């Protein structure tokens, strides 16, 4: 899911900045370096402890500890020129650039691109194959399954593909906070699951009744009644767990 390790690079950069802020606040600041030639990872950040400080970074220590984020829908507001200049100055001091997008149509277009990119990223065949194969291999090795059971496990795992695809397509719905639509889709999924369980249980019950009647006599009907009770109990339990 970390295409080109771009997400990892952002995380490493944020972590090293936080370390620099904390080190400046405790007067142990020194140098930070990044290495892209490490054999074990795509990007490695290294910080050396020292005796230096940086009042500008130290002032950010308490705000850094209080910083938090959420997924709530924000309130659109105009970015004042003074705020834009401050953002540009701060990012420039760290060797970066800030690009402010304030046009509503451009913001909507960029949001659509990011949403589609996320969906494509989660639907990559490599990601699905890795999750399926490594998960099956670990499970089979752990329990010591034979050939027949391993094939059955593979077939059962393939049944989760539909669920994975459903969750993938709910990503943009969740991002847009369309909670009503999301709840309706989840309710429909559970209703279809329960309906499938009912159909399967009734099918099994019908087969058992058919074969037990062929046995004839009281013992055959007793077998059918016992099977019916067992199937109804299983149905009730599964339905309760699903709902």
Q: Please tell me the predicted confidence (pLDDT) of residue 20.
A: 92
Buried b (16+ CB within 10 A) or exposed e, 202-213: eeebeebbeebe
* Mean pLDDT along residues 89-105: 87
Q: What is the CA radius of gyration of the chain?
A: 29
User: For the ranges 33-47, 75-89, 144-158, which has the lowest average pLDDT?
Assistant: 144-158
Q: Please tell me the predicted confidence (pLDDT) of residue 148.
A: 64
Q: Please tell me the predicted confidence (pLDDT) of residue 174.
A: 67
Bridge partners of 44, per DSSP, are 35
Whose CA is closest to 176, among 75, 84, 72? Answer: 72
What percentage of the chain reaches a pLDDT higher than 90? 11
Tell me how many helices (H) and strands (E) the chain has: 11, 2
- Please tell me whether residue 76 adopts helix, strand or coil conformation: coil
Asked whether the predicted pLDDT for residue 178 surpasses 90, the reply is no
- Please tell me whether residue 53 adopts helix, strand or coil conformation: coil
Q: Which two tokens stand for residue 186?
A: 């989840």
- Residue matched to tokens 């099918």: 203
Q: Please tell me the predicted confidence (pLDDT) of residue 70.
A: 78
What DSSP line would sit under 7-47, residue for residue?
HHHHHHHHHHHHHHHHHHHTT-B--EEEES--SS-S-EEEE
Distances (CA, A) of 144 to 129, 130, 133, 138: 22, 21, 16, 10
At what angle are helices 125-143 and 147-158 packed, to 10 degrees? 140
pLDDT digits (tens, 9 = 90+) for 100-133: 998 889 988 988 888 887 776 666 656 666 666 6
Asked whether the predicted pLDDT for residue 241 surpasses 60, the reply is no
pLDDT digits (tens, 9 = 90+) for 143-153: 776 666 666 66
The CA distance from 20 to 71, in Å, is 27
Whole-number average pLDDT of the chain: 75
The CA distance from 66 to 12, in Å, is 20
Distances (CA, A) of 10 to 17, 43, 45, 117: 11, 10, 11, 17
* Mean pLDDT along residues 198-204: 74
């Amino acid at each position: 899911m970390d295409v080109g390790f771009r997400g990892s690079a952002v995380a490493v950069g944020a972590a090293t900045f936080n370390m620099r802020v904390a080190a400046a606040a405790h007067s142990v600041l020194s140098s930070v370096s990044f290495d892209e030639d490490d054999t074990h990872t795509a990007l490695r950040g290294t910080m050396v402890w020292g005796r230096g400080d940086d009042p500008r970074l130290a002032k950010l220590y308490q705000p850094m500890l209080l910083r938090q984020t959420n997924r709530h829908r924000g309130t659109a507001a105009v970015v004042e020129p003074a705020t834009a200049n401050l953002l540009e100055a701060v990012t420039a001091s760290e060797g970066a650039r800030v690009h402010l997008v304030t046009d509503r149509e451009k913001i909507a277009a960029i949001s659509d691109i990011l949403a589609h990119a996320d969906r494509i990223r989660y639907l990559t065949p490599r990601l699905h194959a890795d999750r399926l194969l490594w998960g099956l291999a670990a499970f089979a090795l752990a329990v010591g399954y034979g050939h027949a059971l391993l094939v059955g496990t593979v077939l059962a795992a393939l049944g989760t593909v539909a669920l994975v695809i459903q969750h993938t397509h709910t990503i943009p719905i969740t991002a847009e906070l369309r909670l009503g639509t999301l709840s309706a889709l989840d309710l429909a999924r559970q209703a279809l699951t329960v309906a499938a369980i009912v159909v399967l249980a009734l099918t099994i019950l019908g087969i058992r009744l058919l074969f037990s009647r062929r046995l004839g006599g009281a013992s055959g009907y007793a077998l059918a009644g016992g099977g019916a009770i067992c199937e109804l109990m299983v149905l009730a339990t599964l339905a309760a767990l699903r709902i």
